[in-house]
Chains A and B, each alone.
Chain A
């Protein structure tokens, strides 16, 4: 089974620009979550999508948004980039049983640098 893939792997943007990151989950996984990882803050939860619906949202400004398509692929968008948005953005997919259990599998991440 192919793992979680993310594109692009590296990205350099300028302040004020916007960016779109893509995540393809493991086949059969319906839940996709996004995290921001920075050296000082660890893994911060952005949002989770399940069956094309945003089901949970972390404490990030509205500049961060996302969506999920019918094939479970997900995109996240960051508008009006700030220097502080420089981070590794990880997505993780999981299969959800009726009990809500399911291991999360992480993608390799997209390293975003804002200059």
Chain B
């Protein structure tokens, strides 16, 4: 089955800096890569996603890049703010008839004011 590795497990940055979280996946059939943000005590929420036919996608301060050859994808957050502090999960989903993503173990992002 699919295996997703996520690094780093903890990331501490100063407000205004950029943050990058990286994930690798094992199954070349994976074609959908969502990223979720989970604030303390809250549910995971989708913040951005990318499909395998796209190399990069941006949404304001957030961007995701995908390298299918190397089987890795990354989340980039620019101009970080304290409210970006949360746990971020990457996931990979193999194409097919069901929606079962395999999640990475999460990255705890801490943005210091």
Contacts and interface: CB of A to CB of B under 8 A. Distances in A.
A56 interface: yes
A100 interface: yes
Interface residues of A, number: 23
A42 B107 CA distance: 10
Interface in B45-87: 45-46, 49
Majority secondary structure of chain A interface residues (helix, strand, loop or mixed): strand
B97 A100 contact: yes
Contacts of A105: 46
Contacts of A103: 34, 46, 49
Given A48-B98, A104-B99, A42 B43 contact: no
Given A103-B46, A106-B43, A106-B44, A43 B103 contact: yes
A45 B100 contact: yes
Interface in A86-115: 90, 94, 96, 100-109
Interface of A: 31, 33, 41-43, 45, 48, 50, 55-56, 90, 94, 96, 100-109
Given A100-B97, A102-B99, A105-B46, 20 more contacts: A31-B99, A33-B100, A41-B105, A42-B104, A43-B89, A43-B103, A43-B106, A45-B102, A45-B103, A48-B98, A55-B98, A56-B98, A56-B100, A96-B97, A96-B98, A96-B99, A100-B96, A104-B46, A106-B36, A109-B43
